[in-house]
Amino acid sequence: MEADEALIRSIPWCAALISGPNIVILPTESRKPKESTEDALFAQTLKTPDTISGCLTFYNANPANNPSASASASTPINQINTLVTLGSAVNGYPHVAHGGLVATLIDEAMGVLLAVNKHPKVAFPDVGRTVTAYLHVTYLKAVVTPSTVLVSARIKETVGRKLFLEAGVEDRWGVALARAEALWIRVDKERERL
């Protein structure tokens, strides 16, 4: 995480986003290699100088910006943000990230949001193991490379085993590049098949 944080902090607009008094930086667990092949896409394949050279996840603990947050460590985190530095090896066209990669970034941010809410100290209604049931991405503008983008994911609603999420990708000026909505499902371990 140190290398990712150092790279992100070296970019002035990113440093400004993560420097506020209420900003909490989270480990992006999917960037850490595991003994199994879990998270291999982000921990190995996309963790190179030419793909994703930096990735840092954070949230704003200020209740005005995160309505479900409070001083209590047991409060769910309703929204996370991830700064991602993209290289040219993720391109679909010259200097433009592949649309499938943009969808992958969104899906990953949503997964990170749900993962941080699995922590035993977070009073989220039993997130457990979750999978994406659908992901609808609206591409608004090209994601230019090389660049650093902000990917935000937010829990919109939970209904039983269903978790409805929203996400977006923005450039350094706050211009929306993509928006998404998704349904994630809590998987019943007895019915789960890998």
118, pLDDT greater than 80: no
Give per-residue pLDDT as tens, 152-168.
Answer: 999 999 898 899 999 99
Mean pLDDT in residue range 139-146: 98
Mean pLDDT in residue range 13-37: 92
Specify the pLDDT at position 192. Answer: 46
Specify the pLDDT at position 109. Answer: 96
Q: Looking up tokens 């603990």, which residue turns up?
A: 61
120, pLDDT greater than 50: no
Share of the chain above pLDDT 90, in %: 70
Kindly indicate the confidence band of residue 119, based on its pLDDT and cuts at 50, 70 and 90: low
Give per-residue pLDDT as tens, 29-57.
Answer: 899 999 999 999 999 999 999 999 999 99
Kindly indicate the confidence band of residue 194, based on its pLDDT and cuts at 50, 70 and 90: very low
Mean pLDDT in residue range 111-132: 71
Structure token digits, residue 130: 């979750």
> How far, in whole angstroms, is CA 50 from its chain's centroid?
20
Kindly indicate the confidence band of residue 189, based on its pLDDT and cuts at 50, 70 and 90: low
Output Rg (C-alpha) for the chain, integer angstroms.
16
Is the domain covering 2-124+143-150 a CATH 3.10.129 domain? yes
Q: 132 pairs with which residues across the strands?
A: 184
* Domain limits, the chain: 2-124+143-150
